[in-house]
Chain A
Amino acid sequence: MKIENALNWLDERLGIDAAFALAKKKEVPLHRHSIWYYFGGMTLFLFIVQVTTGILLLLYYRPSAETAFESVQFIVTEVEFGWLIRSVHSWSANLMILALFIHMFSVFFMSGFRPPREITWVTGVLLLFICIFFGFSGYLLPWNKLAYFATKVGTEIAGVVPVVGRFMLRFLRGGDEVTGATLTRFFGFHVAILPAATTLILGIHLLLVQMHGMSVPPSMEDKPQRKMKFFPNFMLRDLIGWILAIGVLAALAAIFPWELGEKADPFAPAPEGIKPEWYFLFMFQTLKYIPAKILAFDGEVLGVLAFGLGGFVWLLIPFINRPTSSPRIKLAVFLFGIFVVAFIVVMTIVGFLA
C-alpha cells in the first residue's frame, strides 16, 4: 500500500506512468540481423561503466606531472580494489570503442541512416570522434613513458594539418612540448569538456532513437514484420549481455591487469617500437607507409588530410546516399563502407605485426 502511494506520488510529479506506457509500446524489429541491435545498448552500458569507474578514480587521481604517476601507482597498489577500478576503466574504454565500431558499421550496412535518421547517424559519428578523443586524452593521464611518447607523436600528427596545425598542436599541448601543462589540459578535456559534449550529443542520439525506433534493413522492409517488445523482452536480453560484459571486464582486470609502466621522463629517448592504442593503429601504420613526398606535396600532410576528409565524408553518408540517389551512388557508398572496414582491419593487423 505504501509503495503504491509512493508511486502515485511520483507519477503526479514526474509522469512515470506515461514513461512506462511509452516503454511498453516500444517494439524492436525481429529479423536475421537483429543481433546487431544489441551493440548500441552495449556501448551505452560500457559508457556508464566508464563514468562510474572514472568518478571513483577521480577520488585519488592527482593531475600534475609530479603526482599523476604516483597517484595511479597508489590507486593500483594501496587503495582497496583500486587495481580493479583502474583496470576495468582501461579495459572498458577499449571494449566500448570496439562495441561502438561494431554498432556504427552494423548501422551503416543495414542502411540505418536512411531518412528520418540522418541526425541520429551524424550524432553517432560525432560520439565516435568524441570517444576516440576520450581514449587519446585518457591515455596520457597515468603519465607513463608510453603514454608520454604516444601523445607526443599523436599531437605531432595533428600539428601537420595545414594552416591550423600549428595552432592545434599548441592548443592540445598547452605549449610547444608535451609537459605537465599538457597533462592538466588533457585532464580537463577528459573529465569536463568531453563528458559535457557527450551528455549533450548522447542525449540527442538516444532521444532520436526513441522517436524513430529501430531501423529495419531495406532488404527486410517488404517482408512481414515480426516484432518483440522492448520492455521487458529486449531489455532483459540486453541485461544478460551487460551482466556477461561485467564478467568479461572482471576476468580481464584480474587476469590481465592494465600495466602502469614506467614514469614519463621527457629527457629519456623514445622507447623502441612505440605504437598507439589499437584504434589509432590503422592511421599510424598508413602514415608510416606514405612516402615523404607525393609530387610536390608533403606525404604526411596529404595522409592526415585524407583521413580528415574520410571522416567528414563518413559523417555525411546519409546526405550522399539518399533514397532518391541513383543505384550507382548507393553501390559506391556500399563499396566505400566495405573498403573502410577492410582498410581498418588490414592496417590494424599489419600495425600489430609490424
Chain B
Amino acid sequence: MKQQLKNFRDLTPKRRRVLLTALSVVLVLGGVALFASTVRTSAQKKNSCIECHTKLDGPLGEPARLFANDIHKERGLACNDCHGGNPLADDKVAAKSASSGYLGKPKPIDIPSFCGKCHSDASVMKRFNPTLRVDQVQEYYTSVHGNRLKNGDQKVATCASCHGIHGIRPPSDPASTVNALNVAETCGKCHGSADYMQGYQIAHDQYEKYKTSVHAKAIYEKHDLSAPTCNDCHGNHGAVPPGLTSVANVCGQCHGRQSTLFQNSPHKSPFEKANAGECIRCHSNHGIVPPTDEMAGTGPQSVCITCHTNDKGFAAAQQIEEKLGGLTASIHGANQILERAERAGMEVSRPKFELRDALDGLTQARVLVHTASLEELEKAIGPSMEIAGKSYKAGESAFSELNFRRGGLAVSLVFILFLAVLVYLKIKQIEQRDGAVSET
C-alpha cells in the first residue's frame, strides 16, 4: 500500500488529475446503478392490494389468499394487471384512484371482455403461452351461455364460473376446476341444481346420470382421462347441446368405426326421418351404460324392439343375439376348459393365446352390429367360432393327455415297486446265504 501511494505521488500533476477524475466517474456511476436496482427490486415486490386484502376477513380477503396459488401470479402478473389501480400506493384512495386506471370487480356481463383483454390478444398471449388459443371469447359468444349473456341473462356461466376467480389453475392441473377429472362436477354445480336451473326449461339430472355412465367409470375408476366428460361432447367455450343430427358426429369423434358403419347402414335413413337422434336412440346420452349383447336381441333389454315388432328387423335382431350369444358361449367354454387344464398343470398357453383372436372377433362382431347386416356380422363370427372350437379341442386333448399321464404313472409305479421288491428279495437272499454283518 505504501509503495502504491509512493507511485501515485511520483506521477505528474496532470496524470494525477486524470486518474482521480476517472475514479470519481466510476464511483458515481456504480452508486447510481446500485440505487436504481434497489428501487426496481422494491417496486417489483410492492403490492399494496395483497398487503391490505390479506388482512381482511371474508370475501374481501379471499381473493388475496387464493391468488397465491394462481397461474397468473406464477406467470408474474399482479392484481393491477387485471383490475387496474396502483399497487405502489399505500393509501387506499390513491391505490384505487381513477387516474391509476382502477377497474375494480367486473360485472358478469363484462367478464368475457375483462379476461379477453389478454386472452384474445395473440401478441400478449405469446409472451406467456404461445400455444394457447386466443378465440375463446369469440367462441364463447357462439355458445348458449354467451348468447344468453348478450341478451342480459347474468345467471349464465362466464369465464369465472368455470375456471374460478383468483385461484385459477391451468386445465392440465388436477386441482383445476376444468381438469378432465373435475369438469362434470363444475358443470354440475349449475346444471345439476334444480333451483338454479329453474326457468330454463331443461333437465337438471345430467350430472347424476353421467356419474352412472361408462364414461364416468372410465374417468373416475380407471383414471382414463381420454374418456369423455361434458366438454368433449358439448364443447367448452362454445358449449351448445349437439343437435339430433350431429350426435353421430360427436360420438364418432371417438367411436369412429361404429359411427361410419351406422352412417352406411340401412338404419341411417329411417333414423333421420324419425328424427331419432342416431346413437342416443339406443345408447342414451348422459347415462350411457356399457352395451350388452341383449340390447341387440328381442328380449326385455332389447333396444331393437322399440321400433321392430314382428317384422324382418325383429327376426334379424333375434339372429344377431343368437350369433353373439353363441360365440360368447363358445369362447367361455373354451376358456373354462383351458383354465381347468392349466390348473391341472397342463401347458395350454398356446391355445389360450390363440383364443384371444376369437375374443377380438367377438369385439369386432359387436361393432359390426351397427351395420345391421347379418352377412357382415358372420364375417367376424365365423372365423372366431372356428378358433374357439379349436381351443376347446386343445383343452380336451390336454385332459386326455393328463389321463394318459396318470394311467402311465400308475403302470410305472407298479413296475417300479415290483423292481424295488425284487431287489429287496435279492438282498434277503444274499444275506441269508452270506450273512449281512461282520463285527470287529
Contact = CB atoms under 8 A, between A and B. Distances in A.
A212 B424 CA distance: 28
Nearest to A29: B440
Interface in A221-267: 224-229, 232-233, 236-237, 239-240, 243-244, 246-247, 250-251, 254-257, 259-260, 262
A226 B439 contact: yes
A250 B349 contact: no
B440 A233 contact: no
Nearest to B438: A227
A262 B349 contact: yes
B438 A226 contact: yes
Given A77-B350, A240-B424, A226 B437 contact: yes
A295 to B, nearest CB: 42
B347 A250 contact: no
Nearest to B410: A254
B347 A73 contact: yes
Given A233-B427, A243-B419, A243-B420, A254 B347 contact: no
Chain A facing B: main interface SS: helix
Contact of A260 (B347, B427, B436, B439): B347
B412 interface: yes
B346 interface: yes
Contacts of B426: 236
A27 interface: yes
Contacts of A247: 412-413, 416-417, 420
Interface residues of B, number: 26
Most B-side CB within 10 Å, residue of A229, A251, A254, A260: A254
Interface string B428-440: 0011000011111
Give chain A's interface residue range (CB within 8 Å of chain B). 20 to 34
Contact of A83 (B347, B409, B431, B438): B347
A27 B405 contact: no
Most A-side CB within 10 Å, residue of B346, B347, B408, B413: B347
A169 interface: no
B436 A228 contact: yes
A250 B413 contact: yes
A301 interface: no
A76 interface: yes
A32 to B, nearest CB: 14
Contacts of B76: none
Given A227-B438, A243-B419, A247-B416, A255 B350 contact: no
7 contacts: A73-B349, A77-B350, A83-B405, A227-B438, A227-B439, A228-B438, A240-B427
Interface of B: 345-347, 349-350, 405-406, 408-409, 412-413, 416-417, 419-420, 423-424, 426-427, 430-431, 436-440
Q: Which 9 A-B pairs have the closest CB atoms?
A: A254-B409, A247-B416, A257-B345, A254-B405, A225-B440, A76-B347, A243-B420, A236-B427, A227-B438
